[in-house]
Every structure is written in structure tokens, then in C-alpha cells.
Amino acid sequence: MLLLSDLQRLNPLERRWLQLFLITILSTTIWFSWQGTDWQSNQSIVLNWLVSPISAISGVLCVVMVAKGLLSNWIWGLISASTYGFLAWKSGYYGDWLINWFYFLPAQFFIYFTWRRNLESTSQIIIMRRLGWHWLWVVVLVLFAIMLLAGALQNLDGFFSDALKRNSSVYDSLASLSGFNIAGPLLDSCTVILQITAQLLMIRMFAAQWPFWILTNILTIFAWALVLTTDPSSAPYAVPTLIMWGAFLINSIYGAISWHKGAQQND
């Protein structure tokens, strides 16, 4: 009932965006699945043509509902984190598996219990808040955490640090472009810390979450563009992935505008 009523709360523009967003993400998912499916393996078929589309659809619905400030985002987030984490684990992307199953997945329950107590009585949209001057402390802590994790990724050996090092070709390309070996670990560290920070601010209903989501999307687009540049043969999966993250970036910008207005009204 909540899912249907929240869909009805979207205005005509938001519904058209949701439709376009779903078409975009599903198209990229189908293209990626077609390229990567082992048609002799039932497991590969199920992962690519069942789990992956479910992950894509739930991911789109989650971020659109968050941008609108609707409670049902937690249900879609639960499905998305579960299915995408499973895909990441089966594909060997253990960093994505860790952050989805052990951070984003439990975070959905905190979202539910926090948000349901802070809904406007008429619109049933979350009461959006401004962070105020506390954003200075957030930025300082984020920068410190990024440098700490980047140093760990560069210098420590073990499953956890290796899991977060997502693409060796990106590391090599960034090192050659910048002249610093830490450039690759720094990129991965930024995307991890920014996502963690954005999710925490989202749980607390702060509009300040959106710059962190926007930066995450921009850095991820940059990373995949670098993959495509350094390895042109990656085009069948890199191009759809770039399109997908471009759509996430557009949604994040809309979310930033929507939450900024909502927070101003609540003030």
C-alpha cells in the first residue's frame, strides 16, 4: 500500500523522469547482461536476467524516492542493497559487496525508523533539514577519513584493502597521469567515504547529503571513463555503466534542488 501511494505522490514531471530513468537503467542492464551471460550456465542466466534487473529497478525506485523524500525508499533500498551486493560478491567485486551488505543493507532499517517519525502529516514527505555550520566539521572529518583510508589501501595488504581496490588499470593510469602512486587508492577512498557520509546524512534527513552523492557520481563517471580510455575493449560494459552513472548524477542534482527547497520551507 505504501509503495503504491508513494508512486502516486510523484508529480507528472517526476513520473516522466522515473519512466525515463527506468528505461535507461534497464537498457544498460540488459546490454551488460547480454554481453556477460554464459548461456550454458543456469546460474549465469539467473544472475544476469533475474537478479540484475531486479537490482536495477529497485535501485532506480530507491534513489527517486529519496530525491522526493518519500518513506518507501527504504524498501527499494533493502532490495537493491541485497541483490546488488549478491551480484558484486558473485562477480568478485568484494568492495561493493562489503559496502552493500554490511553498510547500506542495515542502514535501510535506520532510515525506516527515523523517517517514519518525521513525515509531514499532509504530504507524507520527510521533514527535510539543513545542516547549518556543522557542515564544516563534516568536511574536515571526511577529508581526514579519505586520507586515512587511501593510505591504508596503498600500504596495507589483506582481504579488506584488496577488496576496495577495484580496478588495477585505473590505478596504473592515474599513477602515470598524476605522477603519484596514491592517486588510485585516493579515488577509491573518496568514493567509499563519500557514500558512507551521504548515507549517514540521509538517515538524519539533512539536505547536505546531496553534494556527497553528486561527488560520488562524478568520481565514478571519471573512473569508468578512464577504464574506457585505457581499455577500449571494455566498451560493451563501460559505456552502459557510464550512462547509468550519468542518470544517477542527474537524479542527485534534482534531489539536491528538491531537498534544498524543502529544508528552506521547514526552516
* Model confidence pLDDT, tens digit, residues 94-135: 888 999 999 999 999 999 999 999 998 888 899 999 998 889
Q: Do 248 and 195 form a contact (C-beta atoms < 8 A)?
A: no
Q: Which residues pair with 126 in a beta bridge?
A: 119
Query: Angle at the Cα of 130 (from 123 to 73), degrees rounded to 5?
Result: 45
Torsion over CA: 193, 198, 201, 202 (sign): negative
Q: How many C-beta neighbours within 10 Å does residue 21 have? A: 21
Q: Cα torsion at 78, 83, 86, 87 (round to 10°)?
A: -140
- Residues with Cβ within 8 Å of 157's Cβ and at least 6 positions away in sequence, in order, are none
Domain boundaries, the chain: 1-127, 130-267
**How far is the C-alpha of 151 from the C-alpha of 58, rounded, in Å?**
34
pLDDT-based confidence at residue 214 (cuts at 50, 70, 90): very high
Q: Cα torsion at 137, 139, 140, 145 (round to 10°)?
A: 120
**How far is the C-alpha of 73 from the C-alpha of 114, rounded, in Å?**
13
**How far is the C-alpha of 249 from the C-alpha of 17, rounded, in Å?**
13
Give the model confidence (pLDDT) of 217-244 as tens digits.
999 999 888 878 887 877 777 788 889 8
How does the average pLDDT of the chain come out, rounded?
90
